[in-house]
Every structure is written in C-alpha cells, then in structure tokens.
A and B are shown apart, each in its own frame.
Chain A
Amino acid sequence: MPNITFHDITLMLSTLSIYLELLESCPSVKNILLLDSEGKRVAVKYYSDDWPTLTAKQNFEKSVFSKTQKTNARAEAEIAMIENYIVSYKFVSDLHFFVTAGDDENELILATVLQGFFDAVGILLRNNVDKRSALENLDLILLCLDEIVDGGIILETEASVIAEKVASQGLDGGAPLSEQTISQAIATAREHLARSLLK
C-alpha cells in the first residue's frame, strides 16, 4: 500500500478540478481532420484522449465522413452533431476539412478555426486545393495544423497569419516574422511549391 496521505488526495482532487474547469471554460478543439473523398486520411491531428486507440480514431473518422458525405458543404461551412460532438466541416474538390469540439462549445468559435485552417491551406497551396497537391505539400499541411492549435488550445485563427508563419520557413535564416508581409509569405509558399516539384 503506497503511503497516500489525506493531503495528497486533496491535492489530487484540486488539480483535477482545475483541469475540469479548464476544459469547461477555455474554448478547445478535440481534433482536426483532413480526409479525402473516400474518407481516407490526408492529415489528422487529435488533441484529446477521447479516442485512445487507432481503431477508435478511425471509427470516429468513418462516422464523421459517412454522416457528412452527402451534404453540400462547399459554399458555406456546415455543422452537425455527431456522437455528441459538434463537428464543423467544409469541402473543396476531393478534400474534406473537419474540426471537432465538445458538445457545449461555441459553434462559431469552432467554425472560425475551421475557416482559418481552410483558408490557410488555400493560401499555401495557391488556391490549387486538392488531395494530390495536399499530399505533395504535406509538410506545409502538417506545419499549418501545428500553427492553428496547440494541445487543444487555439493558437491562431487568422488564415493569412497562419500561412505566413508556415511559409516563413522558406527563408533561410530570414527576416523576423513580424516584418514579413502577406504577399511575401505567399511568394515563399510559391517558391517552396516549385522546389518540391523539381525533385
């Protein structure tokens, strides 16, 4: 029997309650999914332990994909309740973008994250957004996910800023981020694309 004192338990409980409070009060994202037109993964990122195994994750993706497949989410972002999560989604070409949150999250915050992701990918892929180009620039997509949400907490929702942060990698030891303009960012994204096609 390990020596657990009353003090330890109260400490554990207070930490736990702080954590629950965090989940309750700070807007948070459970996952971001980018799937293709058959529901296969292009890139996914989970920020929550709600789906502990690969199978659980894949089942959720399958369910989300099949329940939204027939809807038209091309002009405006759509939204649905799926397995007690709210999922906001938008499609373009053969790519399906999803952002998931708990069922009491503010839907508009969720949609803002989705729009940020969607538009940033658009900028980075020079509006040539489809599965092939997404896979060819997978590094950009992964960096993009990394810049939007950190451990469930929203880092940035402004597409141009996200794209700028991702694209700045093209400049070797380049100028500080804040001094870069958006057009420069797009230019570097373009340059990167060209490089990856050269291989």
Chain B
Amino acid sequence: MAQPLVKKDDDRDDEAEYSPFLGIEKGAVLQEARVFNDPQLDARRCSQVITKLLYLLNQGETFTKIEATEVFFAVTKLFQSKDMGLRRMVYLIIKELSPSADEVIIVTSSLMKDMNSKTDMYRANAIRVLCRITDGTLLGQIERYLKQAIVDKNPVVASAALVSGIHLLQTNPEIVKRWSNEVQEAVQSRAALVQFHALALLHQIRQNDRLAVSKLVTSLTRGTVRSPLAQCLLIRYTSQVIRESSNNTAGGDRPFYDFLEGCLRHKAEMVIFEAARAITELTNVTVRELTPAITVLQLFLSSSKPVLRFAAVRTLNKVAMTHPLAVTNCNIDMESLISDQNRSIATLAITTLLKTGNETSVDRLMKQITNFMSDIADEFKIVVVEAIRSLCLKFPLKYRTLMNFLSNILREEGGFEYKKAIIDSILILIRDIPDAKESGLSHLCEFIEDCEFTYLSTQILHFLGNEGPKTADPSKYIRYIYNRVILENATVRAGAVSTLAKFGALVDSLKPRIFVLLRRCLYDNDDEVRDRATLYLKCLGDEGEFGESDKDVKDFLFGTLDLPLSNLEASLQSYEPSEEPFDINSVPREVKSQPLAEKKAPGKKQSGLAAAPSAPTSVADAYEKMLSAIPEFSAFGRLFKSSAPVELTEAETEYSVNVVKHIFDGHVVFQYNCTNTVPEILLENVNVFVDASEAEDFTQVYSKPLRSLPYDSPGQTFVSFEKPEGVPAVGKFSNMLKFFIKEVDPTTGEAEEEGNEDEYQLEDFEVCAADYMVKVGVSNFRNAWESLGPDGERVDEYGLGVRESLAEAVSAVINILGMQPCEGTDVVPSNSRSHTCLLSGKFIGDVKVLVRLSFGIDGPKQVAMKLAVRSEDPAVSDTIHEIVANG
C-alpha cells in the first residue's frame, strides 16, 4: 500500500520496524506445526505456532486443501493438553479452518466432552465452535445440551448457546423452533446480554406469526428490559408492529407511540437515538409525534462526541426531505456544525440547511458555505452543489447569490465530476431562470478560457451556440469562442467552429466577421475542423456564393438529429461502398427496447424480445431486409414499424405460432412465425386463413404459404392487407392455421407419402392505434415542445379510476400510446402524489408527436390525468386523444 509512512522520532524508527512475525513463511510454519504431534506437548510452543498460523490466515494467506487438512488433524491432537490458553487457541483455529463434514466428526467427541465440562469457559466456547462447524446432522445429538445451555446460570454459556441458535435458525429452523420455551425463559434473565440474545432469537422464531410478535412486544414494553441493546431491539420490533397494524387503525392514537416516546427519556444514548429514529421513520408521522424526537436529536447536535452529532444530523437530514418545517428549530445548532472538524457532519449539516432554509437566510448561508468548500473532498462538494441547485430552483429570486457562488467555486481546483456537477447546475439554472441567462453565460465563457476538460468545453460551446445569439449583445461571446480555435485541441476547435457558424446564421450583423474567422479555420491542421469550416462557409453563403435558404441552414445547424445514433451506426456499418450514396432516410427510426440504461451500466442484461434469439439491435433491419426480399411486398414502400411478436397459441401446444405486425403506409403485413413441436409429424403447405370481417378498412391482397414445416425448425407464412393510405386503421383479426399433415417414421426420420388436410384454431389479435406509433426520442423535450408550437396542441383531462399506484397508471398509459418516454420521466418516485411524464414518437405519415402527461392520485387511489398533445398535424393530436379515450 502506497501510504506514506508516518514518521516518528528517529531513534524509534528501527524499533517500529521490528515485528515478531518478521520474515515469517508459510512452509516453515507448517513444518513447525509438527510439534502438535509430540508425545510430550509443550503448550506454550503450540500456542505460538497456532498464533503464527492465524497470523498467516489473517494476512490473506491461504492453505491448500491438503495443508488445511494436515493442520486440522494435528490440531485435534491438542485436545489432550489441559492447558486452558492452548485450548482457546485450538477453538479459534478450528473455526478459522472451517473443516469439512468428515473432518468435523473427528473433533465432535472432544468438543462434546468440553460442552459437558465443569469449566464454563470450555462449555461456552465448545458450543460456539460446534455450532459453527456442524452441518445439522449432528444437531439432534447435541440439542439436549444446547437447550440446557440456554438456561444455564452462567451468562457466557447462555449467550453462546443463544447466539449459536440465531445462526442455526437459518439452516435448521425446525430444530431451533423447538427451543422456544427455554428461550422464553432466557428473555427474563437478569444478565443484560443474555436478555438481548434471547430476545433476538425469540423474535426470529416467531417471525412469521404476527400475533405472537405483537404479544411479545406488548408484554415486554410493559415490563423492564435491562440491556440497552435489548431495548433497541424492542424498539425495532415495536416499529415493525406499528407498521403492520397501521392499516387497521386509521385515525386515533397510534399504538405503542407512548412506549417510543418514553424511550426518549432512557438513560442510554443508543436507546434514546434508536427511539428518536424510529419515530421519524413512522409512516405518515404527524408533526406532534415528531416534535419530542426532534428535540432530543437537537440536543445531540451540540454533543462533544462526533458519533452523536453525526447520528443526529444524518437523521435530521432525512426528516428534512419530508418535513422541512419540523427541522427548522435546529437551524442554529446546525449552522454551527458547518465548521465541524468531521467533514461528513459538516456536509450533512449544510445539505440539511439548504433543504430547510428560507429565502432570507440564503445569503448568510452561502457566506458560511464558501469558507467551508475550500477544505472538503470533491465527493462532499458535489453533494453541496446539487443541494444548491435545488435551492436555487426553489427560490429563483436568489439566483444572483447562488450563481455567484457557483461561478466562484468553478474557478477553484477540482476534479472532473465536481466541475461537471457545477456546469450541469449552471446550465439548468440558465434554462429554468431566464434572468440568470446573461450572467450564467459569461461565467461559462470565463470558465472555458481555462478549462482542462474537453468534454466540458465542447458541451459549453454547444450550449453557447444555441443561447448566445439570442442575447442582447451576442458579439461579446465571439472572442471567447475564437480563442478556443486558437488555443485548444482539435475536438474543442471543431466545436468552436460550429458555434461560430451558429452565431453567423442567427445574427446578420455578425455574419461578415464570422466569415473572416471561419476562413482562417480553413488552414487548420485537423481534417474535421477544416471540413466543418468549409461546410459552414458554404451553407452561410460566403462571398456571394449560393447560400442555402435561411430555413435550411437553421434546420441544419440547430435541428436535432432525430435518429437514434445506434441505428445510424448500424446502417453505416452495413452500407457497402457503391455508386449509390448513403441515404440517411433509410436509417430506421425505431428506438430499440434497451437504450434507457444509464451510461454507468452499459446494458449488461439485454431483455431480449420473446422470439428474437438473434442480436436484438438488428431486428428491425432484419425485418426490413426480409420483407423487401419478397417481391409481392417490395412495392409497399418503406417499412414504418414492426410490432413485437404477439403469441397466438398457449405455451406447450403442438404448434406454436406468434405474429409480427409490419405496418407500411398503405399496407400491413402479418408475419406468422410457426414452430412444429411434435417430432413425429411434418406439416406441408402451411397457411393462415385470416377472417377480417371485424376489420372493415382492410382488404386481403396476398397470402404467402410455407411449403414445409418440419419438427423444431421455425418457418414463416405471410398475409398482407391493403388499407387506406396514411390512416391509422384499426380492426380485429381471427386466424385459422391450415396445413397438410404427414406422419414421420421416428427411426428413419422420413415422412410418409400420404397425409391429411387439417386445421388448428389460433387466437385473435388486433391492429390498434399504438401500432402506428414509432418510439422516437428527442434530446431536449422542452425545445422540441416549444418548436412544435401551440397550434397543433390538444389538451383534455381524464379520470383513470382506481389504480394500484401512480407508477402503474403511468406505465399503462405509456403502453397504450406506444411512445418513447423522455428524460427518464417514466420512472415514478415512490410515494409521490403527482407525476409528469414526457413522451415522444412519430405517428404514421411521419408526423412528430409530443405528449405531456400530468398525473395526480388522491387518498383512495383515484387517478386523474391531464393529457396535452402537440404534433405537426392537429388531426393526429386528436387521434392521440381518441386512443386514450378508447384505451
């Protein structure tokens, strides 16, 4: 470990180096272990060897199976010695060696003898060792002794048996449960720790019997519990009983609250704290119930012991999330903790204050925090920055103070994660507080003048390009941007060139000067920078050349690439160099089912689709390729969407069939994936007969049968329908599988000549509106929403009736619409009473659709929803409402 050696006085240095284990070596120690076999045992020597063995194990050394077995056998000889010290070491090493079942048998009799010894120390330790290494078969033999031990008058023996019981309960519950009378008796023990262990075991034995636990708690809360640890346990069990009974007793006094409150006056601090914590964690705790707990925690805040202060501030921090007002009384004590030596305490104090603070205290608070920030680690700073961000959103009027604070800390030293947290906060503030824009942008400009992180520089340059031109004086940003072109690495330079172009496109007065700057970039030594400069000069119409139309330029510069990048990558990889240029419109727009995973966890588990064993990324491509290869379908145009497979048969039937719905502009194609699961038969001329009488808008145009379907090799048959162009027609289809069946000789595998015609009823399925919706994400929902404008907006409110939870209602609506959730809004925080969910998608006819869903839930789980839809076509917005109204 590369920690610097703490220097002591020079003359002690040599001495400090000395260790009794200097130069110790496993082989030599194993040799030494032979003394265990001496007929005349030297107890002291043997103890030393065991200590050496334990030292090796403790340093991470491992013994091979053979070495461990040899040591174990040698150690068993040491039971002959009467030396108590040696016996303790023997117990210790047996536990460490964790012998196998057949080895255990060898020591069993010695340990059982010790269990019945007159010496309590032998009895206690033998119980612990035996219970640790036994595999349960032995338990029957020693059960009688264990039961006696539980009620032994010596507390050490009783505790040893009880603790062993707690461990054994995991593996042999039925045996340990038979001891409950003895354990019950031990709960009344006068020895503190015995009471604690007995209570823990008794509770676990009765775990699944709520009534028994409730009775146990009732009787103990009235009696006296001696040990503080046992009292803490009792508080935990009481909270559990309160939690489980809370449903039955709505309103009125909470049972056992008086007991918890009484514990706040206990003499042991750990009990007081346990009770205070239990009260703050009660479900739907009232302010009246909270107050006494907050009062004791407040006292702890000024304790001289760091552990007490930490425990109190950590608990208050949690309370502040749900009941900020209840914690405000502690603010003065909390403020003095900002200068606490222990940085964990200081950070918790600050974040609590930021949660409970009011508008007037912000300035004072920020002043204190500034002093504190310089000497804490980055991980704490990030917590503080995040707390400040939410404070600023809470008190927008205070943006000036908070923005100044952020810019100050931005100038100080710090790692990437910390700087990124600050930048993210500034970007969010600029976005949400219009007044903060100008000052925020200039802070960012200043930061990129001296920024060592390429990622942050490019992110800021991009943001600057979008926001800078819209400010009162855009020209002042140009200098900062052009400096990047001169001073930075290629990635940043390329970003700066794009930003310059954006200024040029939006601010006519700056255009000539931008041209001058861009032309200088034509001589950059990096390809990407030169290419960008050339491209932008061309677009913007340098030197009277034909510029693109204004709208095109802006679309090009500011429009989002509304293609999923992974799809684009896949398409580019499959593109083969040829005369035909790559067509970006050929890239599928469907978002794959697993892209939501955060960057941190690169999708380890791929939730593969039901019947898609091939690589999931290429499912859409594969469908497209397959369909275009069938001449009858090739004229249908571009594939708009393919649904996930819908099962049409029960699991484990003779024939397994599912359907994939392929949607084209004026057609639909049903792809039936069939599998024959019976080895003795062969199907030929397989065909699905579709009855579309409940789908009036659809007319069948073609059916492609499957010539042969042998056992366990899936095949497809297709049926295509015509439907009105661009219209989201819906309908129900019933299906009959028809085929010619032949028996197969199992020995030869050959099919017989003759066969019969047969049919098999499949389940119905529907084509619904969601089939016409493609999941397409947007990178910035707010911008996209604004750019669609209010003209195509339709708003309405819906009652969703009683739902299990808000999350369930949200996911149900998302499924009905079949749209892509944006910005992680499909996740509903637990216990929230309202939620806003943002969705985006593309409807048939390539109409962009955005949806903003606001949900609310009231006491009896009635859910209401406000649905706002914006799209390029008001008729589509209406259709979305129809989908929801009928869903």
Contacts and interface: CB of A to CB of B under 8 A. Distances in A.
Contacts of A172: 82-85
A135 B21 contact: yes
A155 to B, nearest CB: 6
A145 B88 CA distance: 13
A54 B60 CA distance: 7
Contacts, number: 189
Contacts of A126: none
B307 A88 contact: yes
B480 interface: no
Contact of B270 (A38, A77, A108, A176): A108
A94 B170 contact: no
Nearest to A170: B85
Nearest to A114: B307
B232 interface: yes
A79 interface: yes
A142 B307 contact: no
A80 B344 contact: yes
Contacts of A92: none
Contact of A79 (B21, B87, B306): B306
A136 B85 CA distance: 16
A43 interface: yes
Contact of A131 (B16, B50, B55, B203): B16
A143 interface: yes
B14 to A, nearest CB: 11
Contacts of A65: 1, 3
B163 interface: yes
A181 interface: no
Interface string A55-85: 0011000100110010110001111110000
Interface string B1-30: 101011010000001101111000000000
B163 A138 contact: no
A119 B314 CA distance: 27
Interface residues of B, number: 77
Interface in A1-49: 14-15, 18-19, 21-22, 25-27, 37-41, 43-44
Nearest to A107: B311
A189 B274 CA distance: 36
Given A106-B277, A169-B84, A178 B1 contact: no
B831 interface: no
A105 B161 CA distance: 25
B713 interface: no
Nearest to B88: A169
Interface string A155-171: 11100000001001111
A94 B311 contact: no
A25 B236 contact: yes
B55 A138 contact: yes
B709 to A, nearest CB: 27
Contact of A108 (B18, B193, B273): B273
B342 A71 contact: yes
Given A38-B1, A79-B310, A132 B16 contact: yes
B311 A132 contact: no
Contact of A199 (B1, B16, B48, B237): B48
Given A94-B16, A108-B308, A165-B156, A22 B166 contact: yes
B870 interface: no
B342 A80 contact: yes
A20 to B, nearest CB: 11
A167 to B, nearest CB: 10
Contacts of B286: none
Contact of A18 (B173, B306, B342): B173
Interface string B160-197: 10011011011001000000000000000000010011
B167 A168 contact: no
A69 B60 contact: no
B200 A153 contact: yes
Contact of B305 (A27, A58, A77, A81): A77
A76 B21 contact: no
A19 to B, nearest CB: 6
Contact of B92 (A81, A135, A143): A143
Given A78-B306, A80-B344, A155-B193, A37 B6 contact: yes
Nearest to A109: B270
A108 B269 contact: yes
A112 B6 contact: no
Q: Which of A27, A79, A94, A157 has the most CB of B within 10 A?
A: A79
A174 B3 contact: no
A131 B8 CA distance: 13
Contact of A76 (B89, B203, B306): B306
B306 A146 contact: no
A146 B92 contact: yes
Given A40-B1, A142-B54, A177-B121, A26 B273 contact: no
B243 to A, nearest CB: 12
B247 interface: no
Contact of B233 (A25, A111, A155): A25
A138 B54 contact: yes
A192 B232 CA distance: 37
Contact of B163 (A14, A19, A69, A153): A153
Given A76-B305, A151-B163, A15 B311 contact: no
B233 A27 contact: yes
A139 interface: yes
A110 B18 CA distance: 33
Contacts of B54: 138-139, 142
Contacts of B51: 138-139, 142
A182 interface: no
Interface string B290-306: 00000000000000111
A72 B342 CA distance: 9
B678 to A, nearest CB: 21
B40 interface: no
Contacts of A37: 5-6
A77 to B, nearest CB: 6
A173 interface: yes
Given A156-B159, A195-B44, A199-B48, 14 more contacts: A18-B170, A18-B173, A21-B207, A71-B342, A76-B305, A112-B270, A135-B20, A138-B51, A138-B55, A139-B89, A153-B163, A169-B85, A173-B84, A176-B154
27 contacts: A38-B1, A38-B6, A41-B58, A41-B60, A43-B58, A65-B3, A71-B342, A76-B307, A78-B307, A79-B306, A79-B307, A106-B273, A106-B277, A108-B273, A132-B19, A143-B92, A150-B163, A153-B166, A153-B167, A153-B197, A154-B229, A156-B159, A165-B121, A169-B121, A170-B84, A177-B156, A195-B44
Interface of A: 14-15, 18-19, 21-22, 25-27, 37-41, 43-44, 54, 57-58, 62, 65-66, 69, 71-72, 76-81, 88, 94, 106-112, 131-132, 135-136, 138-139, 142-143, 146, 150-151, 153-157, 165, 168-174, 176-178, 192, 195, 199
**3 nearest A-B residue pairs (beta carbon):** A108-B270, A107-B311, A169-B85
